[in-house]
Copies of this chain bind each other. A is one copy, B any other.
Amino acid sequence: RINGERLWASLMELAQIGATPKGGVCRLTLTDLDKQGRDLVTRWAREAGMSVTIDKIGNGFMRRAGRNNSLPPIMTGSHIDTQPTGGKFDGNYGVLAGIEVVRTLNDHGIETEAPIEVAFWTNEEGSRFVPVMMGSGVFAKAFTLEHAYAATDTEGKSVKGELERIGYIGDQEPGDHPIGAYFETHIEQGPVLEDNAKTIGVVSGVLGIRWYDCTVTGMEAHAGPTPMALRKDALQVAAQLMQEVVACAHRHPPHGRGTVGMVHVHPNSRNVIPGQVKFSIDLRNATDADCDSMDQDIRAVAAKLSANSGLPIQIELVSNYPAQVFHPDCVDAVGRAAAKLGYSHMPAVSGAGHDAVYMARLAPAGMVFIPCKDGISHNEIEDAQPEHITAGCNVLLHAMLERAGA
């Protein structure tokens, strides 16, 4: 069993770097604070006897040798960058749980057959640079290193320049080494485990995500003198379509999700009928076929709304993350570990994207979820219970040991 108090203390110490007054963390990727976080985590790794290498996109690999170092490592990891109003646990838990696994093996003098590696992936959050899950995406060759390097923040600073500035641009070619298996522990970021009073979520896969930009075009006109019958009010048509996004999700149970999170009204003036409304659509489902079906559904509804209103509606797919089913061996390893340790557990799907999605393209992969308070994350009030933190790390330890061979 791992040392829960030590893990908790490390989490709280890392959370000091970029701590916000409301109890959260703001440690955006590739900032000075991110450098401080990386320095602390790699120091802990070296103190635990691990070697540290950095690849060209700034991913860190902290390695504990095995008996047979020609075997591909059993890997775990996550990210230590946060949202601007992020919490202490999202990502950070997955990395520090990996270090705690190694510390525990050291405590008990346990050698593994295969080496163990703990990774921190650059820019998982995507709030400073797009795309999200950048480091693991480059590692898995989902897009090129050059594409990632060229991404800029709102001030025009590039990923490459910022990696150089903080000294975390390594020599290693991303994706150059094979991996035996990948596990990631993470807070659920949703309310299902808490609602079901379970300690461990045995994650079977990650929903496919489609992001769209939608534009409804009407005609700006003065809110006073324009009779109701002569209006081309873009917001009224957009409001119907926004509700259809949710209806579409309800038409695709049990895993369909539909969200309109971002809205821009033009010209956004109290006494002007909106001439144009742009808004985002986020559709998710458990399989790519289900995502396709939701895509067709929302496009058909939009076409009908457009025909009825006479207002053009444009729907553009801007990102597409395929659904990912995790490897049954890894999923079962997580389930067996939870059962053996006596933790209440249930099958879970991840509604959010994670670095594990990309790693699953390279190796058998699985995830361990623990509850977070009220299902809230990406928020300074994000919270998790120490006993759940401990439980998730114990499950990780046993699942990794099963794969690595003790």
Contacts and interface: CB of A to CB of B under 8 A. Distances in A.
Contacts of A272: 261, 378
Given A221-B376, A263-B268, A268-B263, A228 B190 contact: no
Given A263-B268, A269-B262, A280-B270, A228 B250 contact: yes
User: This chain: how many copies in the complex?
Assistant: 2
Contact of A261 (B192, B207, B273): B273
A239 to B, nearest CB: 4
Given A190-B222, A228-B256, A258-B228, A243 B240 contact: yes
Contact of A352 (B191, B225, B233, B376): B225
A263 B263 contact: yes
Contacts of A268: 261-263
Interface string A224-259: 111110100101100110110010011000001111
A209 B257 CA distance: 40
A236 B246 CA distance: 8
B190 A282 contact: no
A284 interface: yes
Contact of A271 (B222, B261, B269, B270): B261
A350 interface: yes
A379 interface: yes
A170 interface: no
B261 A223 contact: yes
A234 to B, nearest CB: 11
Given A195-B230, A239-B243, A353-B224, A269 B273 contact: no
Contact of A375 (B221, B250, B256, B351): B221
Interface residues of A, number: 59
A224 B270 contact: no
Interface string A315-338: 000000000000000000000000
A191 B230 contact: yes
A375 B230 contact: yes
Nearest to A213: B270
B224 A189 contact: yes
A311 B240 CA distance: 19
Given A211-B270, A243-B236, A190 B351 contact: no
Contacts of A353: 224
Contact of A222 (B239, B260, B351): B351
B270 A262 contact: yes
A228 B242 contact: no
A220 interface: yes
A136 interface: no
A383 interface: no
6 tightest A-B CB contacts, nearest first: A190-B225, A224-B351, A225-B351, A224-B352, A223-B259, A239-B239
Given A190-B226, A225-B351, A259-B273, 9 more contacts: A188-B225, A191-B225, A223-B284, A226-B375, A235-B260, A261-B271, A262-B268, A270-B280, A272-B378
27 contacts: A188-B225, A189-B224, A190-B221, A190-B222, A192-B227, A207-B224, A220-B376, A223-B351, A224-B284, A225-B350, A227-B257, A228-B249, A228-B250, A228-B257, A235-B242, A235-B263, A236-B242, A239-B239, A239-B242, A259-B271, A261-B265, A261-B271, A261-B272, A261-B273, A262-B265, A271-B282, A272-B378
